[in-house]
């Protein structure tokens, strides 16, 4: 399969079942809502060492948010319910409670409970107050700029983490620009985030390592500088490979994001130095979800 | 199916417990069985059809007509459905209400909504004393749901109230929110003396400072409280002044108390 001179590998992305949650952070203005959201979703590129994968889903206008202020919708994913609950408590406590003028609300109405205000309220040292409004409980925690308003409980759902595709290009810059174009289009979609810096990752990994302590190591088959020295997946034209990883609240949203991203890359095509699209997988042995590139781009 | 309508043949001389004439209590009963229900009137017991003209057959939609100011416990303990009183109602309207709606076109007596846990009560006119309050011997008053009063409320509004919301379009009497445990009371008009006496937690939302305040209610200054925008938004469309509040106008003067009992309750006076 070739689209606009870009060869589509007959392979699939392998993704995993995760737990995902949507939270809505609001503040006095968009800038401060973003400060808080950036902090909450910071250092959350990969569950391997961050505990969570997270990103900003979209900006929200005042008429869309629960308290009528500018807001940011964020998505956070973790490998288990227990880990997600731990991550949310820490991240909301350290990144939203602390952020001037902020408030935080659940972005999903259905799913399993994740305590927010329920545990953070104790920061109020007895001065915290709860209010039940329209069937939902909120906590008001006195802080130095007024009150921190936090919903008692958010909801998490079964989600998908690790949808991906690889962009193989003549040069590093061409690969990067194609990924940037893909990210611009993908960020228009709902229910997904691309957790890596700028949405793009260069350090694709394989399972295992020559070092016993490491469970994963560099994906040498896709490293252009090792082309001659290892069992390479790259031909002599490929100068750089970049990957876009997608976490989504549903199987369909991840699939859609992959399609939108890959089509953006294909639009640039061979004329822009894009040679191939591929994907990362573990032979189908580890992940619950498989996204076959050719099927998606059919 | 048409609304099951109880029209008083004449105004009873003594109190009548109407608590067994609710959608929940009458569910599945034939009109002939309902007519045979014995109601207490003083020391006498009367069949329902001796007291009322009964028409209609929809037990989920019950209407009381005539001078019902001697009927007690209208809609008490009901779980769903609708009860409408065409004129005034007696005391204990909606006692222990769990769900559904009660509408009183006139005024209601004392202890309206006491022990209410859910649902909604609309009183177009006034309510007597201790609306949403605890009856003697009870530890808690209203514990959930919404009580809307179009007119004025009597003394001790929300006494020992535990949860839920009371919105009063007119004025409220003395000792509003006394011994309140939690919940929200909003009064659009004026307040009598000494609100929040013995208040532990909960919120009173007022448009003006009461004339007489306890010295144990302390001023905490003017602040923007974000939860008010959610609260006002949840009231949008309700009849009366609270249904049209600007959700972004969240700055209030906050008073805390009652400090005499270590209370963390609050009076929020809108600016």
| Residue B26 host element (H or E) | helix B23-26
Check the CA dihedral B201-B209-B153-B99 and report its sign. Answer: negative
What is the distance between the alpha carbons of residues A44 and A20, in angstroms, rounded to a whole number?
A: 13
Are both A175 and A146 inside the same structural domain? no
Q: Measured between CB atoms, does B264 come within 8 Å of chain A? A: yes
Are both A121 and A196 inside the same structural domain? no
A289 CB-side CA count, 13 A: 23
From B23's Cα to the closest Cα of chain A, the distance in A is 24
Are both A208 and A237 inside the same structural domain? yes
| Residue A118 host element (H or E) | helix A117-120
Buried b / exposed e across B158-184, counting CB within 10 Å, b at 16+? bbbbbbbbbbbbbbbbbbbbbbbbbbb
Q: Measured between CB atoms, does A145 come within 8 Å of chain B? A: no
Q: Measured between CB atoms, does A282 come within 8 Å of chain B? A: no
For residue A53 the two structure tokens come to 């994968």
Cβ pair B89, B68 in contact under 8 A = yes
Most B CBs within 10 Å, among A28, A68, A147, A151, to test the B interface: A68
Q: What percent of chain A has pLDDT over 90?
A: 94
Cβ pair B227:A147 closer than 8 A: yes
Are both A78 and A144 inside the same structural domain? yes
Are both A209 and A259 inside the same structural domain? yes
From B75's Cα to the closest Cα of chain A, the distance in A is 23
The answer for residues whose C-beta is within 8 angstroms of residue B191's C-beta and 6 or more apart is B171, B172, B176, B206, B208, B210, B211
Provide, as residue numbers in chain B, all residues whose Cβ is less than 8 Å from the Cβ of A133: 227, 230-231, 234
pTM of the model: 0.93
Residue A216, pLDDT > 90, answer no
**Mode of pairing for the β-strands spanning B143-149 and B163-168:** parallel
From A84's Cα to the closest Cα of chain B, the distance in A is 26
Cβ pair A68:B266 closer than 8 A: no
What are the two backbone dihedrals, phi and then psi, of residue A95, each rounded to the nearest 5 degrees?
Answer: -115, -20
Q: How many other CB atoms sit within 10 Å of the CB of residue B72?
A: 21
Q: Measured between CB atoms, does A147 come within 8 Å of chain B? A: yes
Using only C-alpha atoms, what is the Rg of chain B?
19
Are both A153 and A29 inside the same structural domain? yes
What is the distance between the alpha carbons of residues B126 and B152, in angstroms, rounded to a whole number?
A: 5
Among A193, A198, A134, A190, residue whose Cα is nearest residue A161: A193
Mean pLDDT over A166-191 rounds to: 98
pLDDT tens for A122-170 read 999 999 999 999 999 999 999 999 999 999 999 999 999 999 999 999 9
Check the CA dihedral A18-A261-A275-A2 and report its sign. Answer: positive
For residue A167 the two structure tokens come to 């962009």
Residue A282, pLDDT > 90, answer no
pLDDT tens for A222-235 read 999 999 999 999 99
Angle at A267 between CA A264 and CA A268, to 5 degrees: 100
From A170's Cα to the closest Cα of chain B, the distance in A is 53
B231 to chain A: closest CA residue? A133
Boundary residue ending a domain (A157, A191, A224) = A157
Cβ pair A68:B201 closer than 8 A: no
Buried b / exposed e across A24-52, counting CB within 10 Å, b at 16+? bbbbeebebbbbbbbbbbeebbbbeeebb
Q: How far is CA B162 from CA A126, A216, B83, B247, in A?
A: 18, 56, 24, 25
Q: How far is CA A85 from CA A40, A76, A90, A115, A214, in A?
A: 14, 10, 9, 7, 27
Q: Measured between CB atoms, does B236 come within 8 Å of chain A? A: no
pLDDT tens for A43-75 read 999 998 999 999 999 999 999 999 999 999 999
Most A CBs within 10 Å, among B146, B200, B230, to test the A interface: B230
Boundary residue ending a domain (A122, A141, A157) = A157
Cβ pair B266:A132 closer than 8 A: no
Q: How far is CA A137 from CA A75, A77, A112, A141, in A?
A: 21, 24, 16, 13
Q: Is the peptide bond before B258 cis (omega within 30 degrees of 0)?
A: yes
Cβ pair B264:A138 closer than 8 A: no
pLDDT tens for A76-114 read 999 999 999 999 999 999 999 999 999 999 999 999 999
What is chain B's length? Answer: 271
Angle at A75 between CA A72 and CA A77, to 5 degrees: 160
Confidence band for A286, pLDDT divided at 50, 70 and 90: confident
Provide, as residue numbers in chain B, all residues whose Cβ is less than 8 Å from the Cβ of A25: none
Boundary residue ending a domain (A157, A184, A214) = A157
Are both A198 and A128 inside the same structural domain? no
Query: pLDDT tens, position by position, for chain B (271 residues)?
Result: 899 999 999 999 999 999 999 999 999 999 999 999 999 988 889 999 999 999 999 999 999 999 999 999 999 999 999 999 999 999 999 999 999 999 999 999 999 999 999 999 999 999 999 999 999 999 999 999 999 999 999 999 999 999 999 999 999 999 999 999 999 999 999 999 999 999 999 999 999 999 899 999 999 999 999 999 999 999 999 999 999 999 888 999 999 999 999 999 999 999 8
Are both A138 and A166 inside the same structural domain? no
From A126's Cα to the closest Cα of chain B, the distance in A is 9
Cβ pair B227:A66 closer than 8 A: no
What is the distance between the alpha carbons of residues B118 and A158, in angstroms, rounded to a whole number?
A: 32
ipTM of model: 0.92
**What range does the domain containing A26 cover?**
18-157
What is the distance between the alpha carbons of residues A177 and A121, in angstroms, rounded to a whole number?
A: 45
Are both A188 and A280 inside the same structural domain? yes
Option in A66, A129, A146 nearest B224 (CB)? A146
Among A102, A98, A45, A111, residue whose Cα is nearest residue A71: A102
What is the distance between the alpha carbons of residues A118 and B215, in angstroms, rounded to a whole number?
A: 33
Q: How many other CB atoms sit within 10 Å of the CB of residue B120?
A: 20
Using only C-alpha atoms, what is the Rg of chain A?
21
Are both A48 and A86 inside the same structural domain? yes
Q: What CATH number is given to the structural domain containing A262?
A: 3.30.70.520
Cβ pair B249, B225 in contact under 8 A = no
Are both A139 and A181 inside the same structural domain? no
Most A CBs within 10 Å, among B180, B183, B226, B264, to test the A interface: B226
Are both A168 and A150 inside the same structural domain? no
Cβ pair A255, A189 in contact under 8 A = no
> B residues 181-220 near A, CB within 8 Å?
182, 184, 201, 203
A142 to chain B: closest CA residue? B225
If one counts the domains in chain A, the total is 2
């Amino acid at each position: 399969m070739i689209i606009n001179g870009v060869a589509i590998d007959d392979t699939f992305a392998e993704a995993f079942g995760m737990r995902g949650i949507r939270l809505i952070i609001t503040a006095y203005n968009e800038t401060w809502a973003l400060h808080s959201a950036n902090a909450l979703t910071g250092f959350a590129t990969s569950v391997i060492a961050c505990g969570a994968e997270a990103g900003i889903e979209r900006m929200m206008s005042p008429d869309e948010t629960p308290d009528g202020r500018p807001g940011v919708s964020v998505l956070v994913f973790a490998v288990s319910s227990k880990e997600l609950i731990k991550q949310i408590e820490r991240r909301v406590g350290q990144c939203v409670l602390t952020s001037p003028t902020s408030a935080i609300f659940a972005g999903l109405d259905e799913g399993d409970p994740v305590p927010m205000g329920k545990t953070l309220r104790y920061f109020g040292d007895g001065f915290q107050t709860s209010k039940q409004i329209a069937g939902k409980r909120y906590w008001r925690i006195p802080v130095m700029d007024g009150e921190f308003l936090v919903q008692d409980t958010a909801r998490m759902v079964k989600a998908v983490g690790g949808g991906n595709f690889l962009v193989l290009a003549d040069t590093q810059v061409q690969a990067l620009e194609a990924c940037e174009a893909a990210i611009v289009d993908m960020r228009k979609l709902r229910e997904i985030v691309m957790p890596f810096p700028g949405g793009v990752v260069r350090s694709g990994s394989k399972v295992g390592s020559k070092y016993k302590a490491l469970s994963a190591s560099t994906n040498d088959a896709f490293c252009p500088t090792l082309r001659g020295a290892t069992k390479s997946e790259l031909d002599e034209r490929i100068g750089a490979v970049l990957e876009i990883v997608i976490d989504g609240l549903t199987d369909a949203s991840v699939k859609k994001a992959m399609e939108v991203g890959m089509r953006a890359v294909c639009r640039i095509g061979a004329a822009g130095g894009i040679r191939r699209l591929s994907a990362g997988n573990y032979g189908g042995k580890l992940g619950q979800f498989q996204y076959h590139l050719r099927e998606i781009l059919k | 199916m048409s609304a099951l309508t109880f029209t008083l043949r004449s105004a009873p001389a003594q109190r009548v417990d109407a608590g067994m004439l609710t959608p929940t209590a009458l569910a599945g009963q034939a009109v002939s069985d309902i007519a045979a229900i014995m109601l207490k009137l003083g020391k006498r017991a009367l069949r329902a059809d001796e007291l009322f003209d009964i028409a209609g057959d929809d037990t989920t939609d019950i209407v009381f007509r005539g001078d019902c100011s001697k009927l007690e416990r209208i809609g008490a303990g009901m779980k769903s459905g609708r009860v409408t009183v065409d004129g005034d109602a007696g005391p204990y309207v909606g006692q222990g209400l769990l769900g559904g709606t009660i509408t009183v076109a006139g005024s209601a007596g004392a202890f309206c909504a006491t022990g209410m846990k859910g649902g909604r009560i609309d009183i177009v006119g006034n309510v007597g004393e201790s609306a949403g309050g605890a009856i003697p011997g009870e530890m808690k008053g209203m514990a959930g749901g919404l009580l809307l009063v179009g007119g004025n409320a009597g003394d001790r509004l929300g006494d020992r109230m535990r949860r839920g919301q009371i919105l009063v379009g007119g004025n409220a009497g003395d000792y509003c929110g006394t011994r309140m445990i939690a919940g929200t009371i909003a009064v659009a008009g004026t307040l009598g003396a000494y609100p929040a006496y013995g208040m532990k937690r909960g919120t009173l939302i007022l448009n003006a400072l009461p004339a007489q305040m306890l010295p144990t209610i302390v001023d905490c200054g003017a602040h923007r409280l974000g939860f008010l925008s959610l609260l006002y938004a949840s009231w949008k469309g309700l009849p009366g002044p609270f249904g049209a509040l600007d959700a972004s106008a969240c700055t209030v003067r906050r008073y805390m108390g009652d400090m005499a009992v270590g209370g963390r309750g609050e009076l929020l006076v809108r600016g």
